[in-house]
């Protein structure tokens, strides 16, 4: 009985000694997905109001919508009254740095345009409002930047 009690005591002491070591994180812990995700977040470009779109993106978008107009394809929502697909008066009811008014009709940007101008940064999306292509923040709908006058008369 003494030997089984001594064995049980020794096992308990050994377990008490090794348990904290087993519960401690190994040296490689924390090097996985969490750190990679954090590094990607840190590398994400900061988007400044009015300075996201570059000239080549502007030219590509204007060229795409201009070609659509020349083929007789006015984007949905633009007036077709022999005025070059010009928008019906709501063109500038938005401003950079302000939320996009809820009553403005938003249209998705075609994949062909996304290929030419690139995908928006994380947390943002492109929308077309009347004759303008906008970069807006997801959630707040704040207008960050714009390519204005996609179709010119």
pTM value is 0.61
Beta-ladder partners of 136: 125, 143
Domain ranges in the chain are 55-147
- According to CATH, the topology of domain 55-147 is Nuclear Transport Factor 2; Chain: A, (3.10.450)
Residue matched to tokens 């030219």: 59
pLDDT tens for each residue of the chain, 153 residues long: 555 655 556 556 555 555 555 555 555 555 555 555 455 445 555 778 888 999 999 999 999 887 776 555 565 555 444 445 555 554 478 999 999 999 888 999 999 999 999 999 999 999 999 889 999 999 999 999 999 988 766
Phi, psi of 132, deg, nearest 5: -130, 145
Q: Give me the sheet containing 143-147, strands edge to edge.
A: 124-129, 132-137, 143-147
Q: What is the CA 89 to chain-centroid distance, rounded?
A: 29
């Amino acid at each position: 009985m003494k030997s089984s009690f001594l064995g049980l005591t020794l096992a308990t002491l050994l377990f008490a000694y090794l348990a904290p070591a087993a519960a401690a994180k190994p040296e490689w812990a924390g090097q996985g997905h969490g750190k990679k995700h954090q590094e990607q977040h840190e590398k994400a470009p900061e988007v400044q109001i009015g300075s996201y779109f570059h000239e080549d993106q502007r030219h590509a978008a204007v060229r795409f919508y201009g070609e659509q107009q020349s083929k007789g394809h006015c984007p949905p929502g633009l007036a077709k009254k022999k005025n070059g697909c010009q928008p019906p008066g709501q063109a500038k009811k938005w401003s950079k740095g302000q939320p996009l008014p809820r009553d403005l009709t938003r249209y998705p940007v075609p994949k062909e345009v996304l290929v030419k101008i690139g995908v928006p940064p994380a947390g943002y999306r492109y929308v077309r409002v009347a004759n303008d292509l906008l970069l807006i923040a997801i959630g707040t709908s704040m207008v960050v930047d714009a390519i204005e006058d996609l179709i010119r008369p």
